[in-house]
Structure 1
Amino acid sequence: MTTLIVLLLFVAGTAWVLCKCVREFLTALRSVFFGQRAEGRCVRSYGTEGADGFTRMHHVYGFTTADGRAVEFEEPTMLMREGKKVTVRYREDDPERTATITGLRTLSPLLGSAFGVLLSCAFFLLSAVLLWLYVAKVWPEQ
């Protein structure tokens, strides 16, 4: 019974992570294909050291919306220097949460989201198969 509860929690947790990753990926895709376009810049980049000792780079981008609002957002890109011009896509209803950078040299946010979807999908499928195998083995014995 304890094993069943653990497996059910594992399935629920991986399903929740998968939903979050898919929603983030779809938001980015909607912004890229259906969003407004604006010229932006990398406002600043800085590094933070994690508990594992590795330095993680953060990049903050700024742009002005069509109605004149100045918006800054952070997005995980691979290599970006301060002051570099980028193309920003955003949805008019919520530019702070939907802004993403686009272009051939700035694919890392979309690729990162797609990788998150694939990885979380793999863990969800693994957890579902483990649950199915457990149920198929235990229930016939009862």
Structure 2
Amino acid sequence: MEALFYVVPTLMIAMAVFALVRILRRSREVRSAWNGGLTAEARCLRSYTTTSGGGQTSVSTTLHHVYEFTTREGRSVRFEESSGPATIVEGDIVTVHYTPEHPERATAHAPARGKLAAEAGCVVAFFGVFIAGCVTFMVVAHLMFSAADEILP
């Protein structure tokens, strides 16, 4: 029973760290694409939504777009991006930013470095508080179990 107070928060911390790493990695990829200096005209091949939640939780909808463009070297690249503008529909032409090393990590988001930095900072702050709360819970649980062991032989 006592292990439950350590295992569950540890798993929650692991999931938080995994999510944090994925979000920060994508943020770095988008910043690199903006700084890469290469742009191309891409066609939106498909747009669709996904939903999550429901039941007793609120429903969240995410808009996804699938784009295809040709690099300067003539390579055809197709990529998918979430949270794009709702005004882009199938067949629209958009400007994408990419790096020559990894054109598959392109982005159709317009450069907004301040917004990207603010989003990354908020994500780090949120997950930092979440992880600190999990660690605090484990420390308090440990202290309570240690005190109970001293009182009860």
Q: How does 1:15-54 map to 2 (within 5 A)?
A: 15-46=17-48
Is the 1:89–1:99 Cα contact (8 Å) retained in structure 2? yes
Equivalent position of 1:78 in the other structure: 85
Larger radius of gyration: 2
TM-score by length of 1: 0.73
Which residue does 1:122 correspond to in 2? 126
Deviations 1:4-56 (A, max 9, x none): 22112211221111111111111111111224211222223345677859876
Change in Cα spacing, 1:126 to 1:51, as seen in structure 2 (3 Å) is: closer
**Number of residue pairs matched?**
137
For residues 25 and 50 of structure 2, the distance between their equivalents in structure 1, rounded to whole angstroms, comes to 27
Counterpart AA for 1:16:
F
Q: Is the 8 A contact 2:5 2:141 kept in 1?
A: no
Once the two structures are superposed, the pairs formed by residues 34-113 of structure 1 within 5 Å of their partners are: 34-46=36-48, 57-76=63-82, 77-79=84-86, 80-96=88-104, 98-103=105-110
Amino acid of the residue matched to residue 83 of structure 1? G
Distance 1:50 1:12 in 2: 22
Distance in 2 of aligned mates of 1:21 and 1:72: 21
If the length of structure 2 is used for normalisation, what is the TM-score?
0.69
Q: Structure 1 residues 49, 127: closer, same or farther in 2, change over 3 A?
A: closer
What do residues 121-140 of structure 1 show as CA deviations (whole Å, max 9, x unaligned)? 51442232232243146337
Which stretch of structure 1 is more off in the superposition, 36-45 or 84-93?
36-45
Letter in 2 for 1:60: V
Aligned Cα root-mean-square deviation (Å) = 3.3
Aligned to 2:7: 5
Question: Structure 1, unaligned stretches of length 5 or more?
Answer: none
Secondary structure (helix, strand or coil) at the match of 1:101 reads coil
Distance 2:38 2:8 in 1: 45
Gapped runs of 5+ residues in structure 2? none
Q: Distance in 2 between matches of 1:93 and 1:66?
A: 12
